[in-house]
Chains A and B, each alone.
Chain A
Amino acid sequence: MSTTAWMVVAFLAVGAGIGGYLLSISARTRVLNRRLEELRGRPPHP
C-alpha cells in the first residue's frame, strides 16, 4: 500500500472516530429526551 493510501486511511480513521463519538452523544441525547418527555407526562410521586 502506498504512503498516500496510509494517509487517507489515517484521515478516515480520525473522521470515523469523531463521527462515531458524535453519533454516540446524539443517541444518548435522544434516549434521554424521550425519557424526559415520558416523565413530564406523569404526576409527581406522592
Chain B
Amino acid sequence: MSSSNASTPGPETRTADSAKVRSLGAAAWASVAVALGMMLFVARVDDFNGPIQKIFYVHVPSAWLAYLSFAIVFVCSIAYLRTESRRWDLLAHSAAEVGVVFTSLVLITGPIWARPIWGTWWQWDARLTSTLVLWLVYVGYLLLRGLSTDPSRSGRLAAVVGIVGFINVPIVHYSVNWWRTLHPVGPTVADPLNNSGFEAPELATFFVALGAFTLLFAWLLSIRVRLGRLADEVEARALAVEGVRDPGPSPRRPPRPAGSET
C-alpha cells in the first residue's frame, strides 16, 4: 500500500464527515419511502402483466446503479494506476462492492419477474447471460482483493480487472439491441416512452425511484469508504504497535513461514 495514512482524516474532519453521511442516509431513506409509496399507490397496475410489473421500479434503478458503480471502478482504477494514491484504490474497491450488491439485486428481481411472466426463472439469452458474467467478473475482483496478502499488488491487479471488466457494461446495456433476446428493451432516460405504455404517474414514479436509489447508492458508497478508512487506520496502528500488518476484519490466511510448504 502506498500510503495508508493519506486516506485517514483527522478527528474534526471525521466528525463533519459523519454528520454529512448521516444526513445523506436520512435523505436516502426518506426518498426510498416516497418512491415505495409511489410504486404502490401512484403508478397504475399494468393491464397486461398485472402488479408484478412494478418490479420494474426497483429492477431498472438497480441496473443503472450497477453500471454507475462499475464506471466509478473503471475511472478510479485508471487514476490509481497513474497515481498509486490509496484514495482511488479505496473508492474503486468500495464502488465494486456496492456494485456487486446492486447487480445481485438485478439478478434476483429479474428471475422473480420472469417466473410468472415467461414461465421460467432463467433463460440463457444475451442480456441475462452478460449480466451474470458482469456479476462474476466483479465478484472475482473482490475475491482477488480479499485473497492477496500484499495490498499494493492486489490493488494494482484489481485495478487491471476493474478496467478490463468495464468492457462488459456496454455489452450488457446494448445486448438487447445487438442480439435477439427475450428481455424487454423497455424505456430509457433518452426515450422514456419506448414500448412502455407509460404515462405521467408511471414516469414520475420511475424517476423518483431512480433518484431515491441513486441517493441510497451514494450513502452506501460513503459508509463503505468510511469502513475502508477505518481498516487503513487499524492497519497503520497495528504496524506501529506490533510491527506487523493487521489482517483486517475478514479472516485472511497468514503467509506461510519459509520452509513450511510440503
Contact = CB atoms under 8 A, between A and B. Distances in A.
Interface of A: 1, 3-4, 6-7, 9-11, 13-14, 17-18, 21-22, 25, 27-29, 31-33, 35-36, 39-40, 42-45
Q: Decide if the interface of chain B is mainly helix, strand, loop or mixed.
A: helix
B113 interface: yes
Nearest to B232: A32
A3 B50 CA distance: 7
Contacts of A22: 220
B52 A39 contact: no
Given A13-B108, A45-B242, A36 B116 contact: no
A10 B112 contact: yes
A17 B108 contact: yes
B241 A3 contact: no
B116 A3 contact: yes
Nearest to A31: B249
Contacts of A10: 52, 55, 58-59, 108-109, 112-113
Interface string B211-253: 0000010001001100100110110011011110010111000
Contacts of B246: 35
B101 A18 contact: yes
Given A10-B58, A10-B113, A35-B249, 13 more contacts: A3-B51, A13-B112, A14-B58, A17-B104, A18-B216, A25-B220, A31-B249, A32-B249, A33-B230, A36-B230, A36-B237, A40-B237, A44-B240
A17 B105 contact: yes
Contacts of A14: 58, 62, 105, 108-109
Interface of B: 36, 49-52, 54-55, 58-59, 62, 98, 101, 104-105, 108-109, 112-113, 115-116, 216, 220, 223-224, 227, 230-231, 233-234, 237-238, 240-243, 246, 248-250
Contact of B240 (A13, A21, A45): A45
B241 A39 contact: yes
A45 B101 contact: no
B61 to A, nearest CB: 10
8 contacts: A10-B109, A10-B113, A14-B105, A17-B104, A25-B224, A32-B230, A33-B230, A39-B234
